[in-house]
Structure 1
Amino acid sequence: MSETTLTAGPSAGSSGGSRPVRLPPKARLPEFVVAACFVLSRRRTVDWMTRRHGEVFSLKVPVFGAAVTVADPQIAKQLFSANVDDVGNIQPNLSRLLGSGSVFALDGAEHKQRRKLLTPPFHGKSIKNYEAIFEEETLREAASWPQGREFASLEPMMRITLNVILRAVFGADGEQLDELRRIIPPWVTLGSKLAVLPSPSRTYGRFSPWGRLAQYRRQYDAAVDRLIDTVRADPNFETRDDVLTLLLRSSYEDGSAMSRRDIADELLTLLAAGHETTAATLAWTLERVTRHPEVLHRLVEEAATDDNEYRQATILEVQRSRTVIDFAGRHVYAPTFELGEWVIPRGYSIFVAIDHIHARAEDFRDPLRFDPDRYVGQRPPTFAFIPFGGGVRRCVGAAFANVEMDVVLRTVLRHFVIDTTTAPDEKVHSRGVAYTPKAGGRVVLRRRPTPLA
């Protein structure tokens, strides 16, 4: 157990005075070995560390440096509830890919103001307007699905979620929709891989991964700039309900508006946060229900009605048992920050191991069992279930993603018979940021002669 004295001002969360730094235990292995293990498999490293050292431990990892990892929901609650001046967004963060105008780049008052601007478009009443888009895009993509033959569902789900975001968030259609469809998928694929690597001092030209990413970004910026001009010139500008238009019509408390660059960064952020992750959850849902006939049977029965309680419970259980984003992070800005029995110094990163928290037997009975009934008639425990993160940095599009997954799954259930399988569970595969079914969520579907509803 490491313990160091640090002369500093009042500790975060304490009544005053200075306290010595008291770091959680760390592995006795050389730091480069632990770092290599973390890069090769974050999840296995966390599992091994928690078994050896408990649910709070120290380590040094590439990109982020000195860090503390938390796998206890009560300590995660303390972190998520902390003063934003004491702990802010993880550094470095996804803004190095998404731009300085992204909400990921902001902290403190700036972050609060931006969140206030972004929240209305993702309010429940606003999301209701997008349900028709969710269903339309599912049916559009499903028109080309093979009948009675196994195929990977991940890529089709990626196309559905991309088109949903481009229409509901970007408000794109026609040529501009086609242009963004061409630019964004390779950007997302490449960006997801580069997000977990250190940023180089320069891009090394268009033949390097970072150079290609920069080239995609230039194409994206030009496309969004043209899209903003088109939206502003629309005679129906005042009645449009896409997120881009709502952002163009909104303003901060001082009357100023978001710049074009900030809007482009923010739209890209919303896309990056809600495209691959939502598609991965949907692919995992199909992978799970095909291996649990009793769950699928109940879902089909419910799909013929207007109810969605069991469908929502199933989505929650997929998010718990097949967590797509495994970490939420914060950065310590206070001289010291009290975290449970530990005192963490300024400059440290703190990671919350979401997938490990989701697998705690203390909060989820028989956690390895896939059981949507956990949530029928009750909600999951708040800080033991955090697929969208927590606190002031919880995903602003969580409600949007939840309704989207609900409608997409309902549409598939109503229009297709889903075959069950006795095949082994698909393994978890890292795409960089998100974790997906290794075989792509393979499924066999047959179109129903008559939709259920």
Structure 2
Amino acid sequence: MATTVTLPPGPSAPRWVQGGYALALPHRGMRRLRDRYGDAFTVDVPIFGRAVVISDPAEVRQLFQSGTEDFDNLERNLGRVLGPGSLFALSGEDHRRRRKLLVPPFHGRRLAAYERIIEEEAEREFAGWPQGRAFATLPSMMRITLNAILRAVFGAEGAEFAELRELLPAMVELGSRLAVVPVPQDGWGRWNPWHRFRAMRRSYDAVVERLMARAEREGGLDRRDDILALLLQSRHEDGTAMSRSDIADQLITLLAAGHETTATTLAWTVERLRRHPAVLRELVAEADAGGSALREAALLEVQRTRPVIDMVGRQVRADSVRLGRWTLPRGYAVLVSIALVHDDDSVFPEARTFDPYRFLGTKPDLYQWIPFGGGGRRCLGAAFATMEMNVVLRTLLRDFVLEPTGERAERWHSRGVAGAPARGGRAVVRRRTASAAPSPGRTTAPGAPARVPGARA
């Protein structure tokens, strides 16, 4: 085993200066550091401390394929706000066992059952959209994804649905900010935001407890499709059931991982498509003809060019470990810069060009296209989120004309964990009429090119 530590170069400014730089210029700052130090550099920032940032695909692949004896869960992560039973908080064998229980809901029959729920929520939200004037789509996308998760994951309805819909947006937003800002959990008296967050969490736990009690009282769990019902029935390998607190932690984890991130990607999708009218025309024609290949490719490209999560990371667990060119000591964080990988011309030619056609007829390399992370800790709900975005975009294209724009691209704005379009993914729409739809069978819009070279992001 290698013992001589070899770290990439990096800035020497104090931790608080580097932390302020990271918060003020998260995207441009990463690019500037790459331009100065190369595709790997060492930083010292609040929350993570001394960390190595990587973006070389070979080193990213090695990290994601490494065993937990070398690299495992970050010590400081979203588990601080989601609870000790959350997948984000678990490591090693505990994480493997819990993840195994959560795989079934996101595949096969159950995933197909959720599609209609998402379409219903999209139709309900879109019915209230203004026509002919600009508005931000992000709030609408937030409501769609929240309502879909409350139904598909929590199995909520009635009073509990209304309570969670009122409580969770503020709770998730506050938790998202607390996860990335080094606020002490004690001290500051009543001004400490952690006190407010904990009060929200107590309200959340009480509602989820009522949902679980009702589900068990009414029975028929095996006939329900929601994930709460599945977790109540699930058993560990030794036959024991999940605790009520662990179920509550997992439900809020699934919501946190799939609500804001999915909604933000949909807002970015609107922002991107309005600025690429040729792609938009062909997407409409494809949807009218019943196709989906270009739509799926466009969503892949939106996530490549506008990833809503900046980083995914691991912690060094071995005394020292070799990662590509570097030898890292125990305790160091290794952070993969998703944006830098996606922005690399050697990985994605003309990387700053928005070009969905690069993904037509091919699947992305999951060690290079990494909006959901990778390896054994890749986002469990990736398939659910992908399906949800596909259904929402399909419904939008079917029911509305999305007006193109020549306005400048919306800037990136930090919402804590997620990065959103600064103006909320503004749109101008008109409801479609029967005469506006292309004739049946047409698969490409008039004048739509096979590719859109040079369409800069």
What TM-score results when the alignment is normalised by the length of structure 2? 0.93
Aligned to 1:362, which of 346, 351, 361?
Answer: 346
Is the aligned partner of 1:343 residue 2:321?
no
Identity %: 51
Aligned to 2:232: 248
Question: Secondary structure of 2:221's partner?
Answer: coil
In structure 2, the CA distance between the partners of 1:129 and 1:90, relative to structure 1 (3 Å rule), is same
Aligned to 1:57: 41
Deviating more after overlay: 189-198 vs 105-114: 189-198
Instruction: Say if 1:382 and 1:215 are closer, same or farther in 2 by CA, change over 3 A.
Output: same
Task: Describe the SS at the equivalent of 2:223.
Answer: coil
What secondary structure sits across from 2:124 in the alignment? helix
Partner of 2:129: 145
The structure 2 residue matched to 1:405, chosen from 389, 405, 410, is: 389
Q: Partner of 1:258: helix, strand, or coil?
A: coil
Q: Give the RMSD, CA atoms, in angstroms.
A: 1.5
Q: Residue 33 of structure 1: SS of its match in structure 2? A: helix
Q: 1:201 to 1:181 in 2, by over 3 A?
A: closer
Q: TM-score, normalised by structure 1?
A: 0.94
Aligned partners of 1:277 and 1:434 also within 8 Å: yes
CA separation of 1:139 and 1:86: change in aligned 2, threshold 3 A: same
Q: Is the counterpart of residue 331 in structure 1 residue 327 in structure 2?
A: no
Q: Which residue of 1 aligns with 2:28?
A: 44
How much does 1:375 deviate? 0.5
Matched with 2:261 is 277
Aligned to 1:87: 71
SS at match of 1:77: helix
- Structure 1 position 207, deviation (Å): 4.6
Change (3 A) 1:124 1:72: farther
For 2:298, give the aligned amino acid. T
Does 2:93 align with 1:109?
A: yes
Residues 348-402 of structure 1, C-alpha deviation per residue, up to 9 Å, x if partnerless?
0000000110011001111111110000111223311101000000000000000
Aligned match for 1:314, one of 295, 298, 307? 298
Contact 2:105 2:227 (8 Å CA) reproduced: yes
Once the 2 structures are TM-superposed, how far is the Cα of residue 125 of structure 1 from its aligned partner? Answer: 3.2
Structure 1 counterpart of 2:379: 395
Tell me by how many angstroms 1:192 deviates.
Answer: 1.3
Deviations 1:82-107 (A, max 9, x none): 11122111121111100001011111
In structure 2, the partner of 1:7 is: none
SS at structure 2 position matched to 1:384: coil
CA displacement, residues 55-91 of structure 1 (integer Å, 9 cap, x when unaligned)? 1111111111110000111101111111112211112
Question: 2:14 touches 2:44 (CA, 8 Å); kept in 1?
Answer: no
Q: Are the equivalent residues in 1 in contact too, given 2:16–2:46 (CA < 8 A)?
A: no
Which of 45, 61, 64 is matched with 1:77 structurally? 61
Displacement of 1:208: 3.2
Consecutive unaligned residues in structure 1, runs of 5 or more: 1-10, 12-17
Match of 1:301 among 285, 299, 303: 285
Note the 1:171-210 alignment, pairs <5 A: 171-202=155-186, 204=188, 207-210=191-194
2:4 pairs with 1:20: yes
Alpha-carbon offset, residue 206 of structure 1:
5.1
In structure 1, the partner of 2:450 is none
How much does 1:189 deviate? 1.4
Distance between the aligned counterparts of 2:325 and 2:421, measured in 1?
Answer: 37
Q: Give 1:43 shift.
A: 2.2
Q: Letter of the aligned partner of 1:90 in structure 2?
A: L
Structure 2 counterpart SS, 1:103: coil
2-side partners of 1:310 and 1:304: how far apart? 12
Following the alignment from structure 1 to structure 2, what is the Cα–Cα distance between the partners of residues 201 and 410? Answer: 43
Aligned partners of 1:64 and 1:349 also within 8 Å: yes
CA distance in 1, matches of 2:366, 2:205: 38
Contact 1:363/1:381 (<8 A) preserved: no
Counterpart of 2:445 in structure 1 is none
Q: In the comparison of the two structures, how many residue pairs are matched?
A: 437
1:135 is aligned, of 98, 119, 129, to 119
Q: Deviations over 1:134-176 (max 9, x none)?
A: 1000011111111111110001000000000000000101111
